[in-house]
């Protein structure tokens, strides 16, 4: 059996890596490192989030189309405030769902990938 230690990174596909990284920086405050670029075109960039990394990379490198991902869930302290901030920036969001253990809701990034925000500290 392999002993997994942590999640190293997750990546989302982008037709325009630089533009998608700017979206995440502007809307969620994610601070990306300098992108890996060839011929002046950003192909990959990543940002430390918690103990791992969130990356955006070209669709060619990932082998999947933009808008095909829906796996990331970022933890936030106050999902209502986070969604209000997104809406102020013109980002359409789903409704926030309350479960017995958390609150969560989603929105689409400019490439059509689904992004979820999650608040695990729910008080009854």
Q: How confident is the model at residue 7 (pLDDT cuts 50, 70, 90)?
A: confident
Tell me how far apart the alpha carbons of residues 38 and 50 are, in angstroms, rounded to a whole number: 28
Per domain, the residue ranges of the chain are 9-119
Tell me how far apart the alpha carbons of residues 29 and 87 are, in angstroms, rounded to a whole number: 15
Nearest 5°: phi and psi at 77? -80, -30
* Domain 9-119: CATH superfamily, name plus number: 2,3-Dihydroxybiphenyl 1,2-Dioxygenase, domain 1 (3.10.180.10)
* pLDDT tens per residue across span 58-117: 999 999 998 899 989 999 999 999 999 999 999 999 999 999 899 999 999 999 999 999
pLDDT, residue 122, reads 57
* pLDDT tens per residue across span 13-65: 999 999 999 999 999 999 999 999 999 999 999 999 999 999 999 999 999 99
pLDDT, residue 124, reads 55
């Amino acid at each position: 059996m392999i002993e997994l230690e942590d999640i190293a990174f997750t990546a989302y596909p982008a037709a325009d890596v630089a533009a998608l990284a700017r979206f995440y920086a502007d809307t969620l405050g994610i601070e990306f490192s300098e992108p890996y670029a060839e011929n002046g075109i950003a192909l990959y960039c990543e940002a430390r989030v918690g103990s791992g990394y969130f990356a955006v990379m070209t669709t060619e490198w990932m082998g999947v189309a933009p808008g095909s991902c829906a796996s990331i869930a970022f933890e936030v302290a106050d999902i209502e405030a986070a969604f209000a901030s997104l809406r102020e920036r013109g980002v359409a969001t789903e409704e926030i769902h309350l479960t017995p253990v958390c609150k969560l809701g989603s929105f689409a990034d400019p490439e059509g990938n689904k992004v979820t925000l999650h608040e695990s500290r729910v008080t009854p």
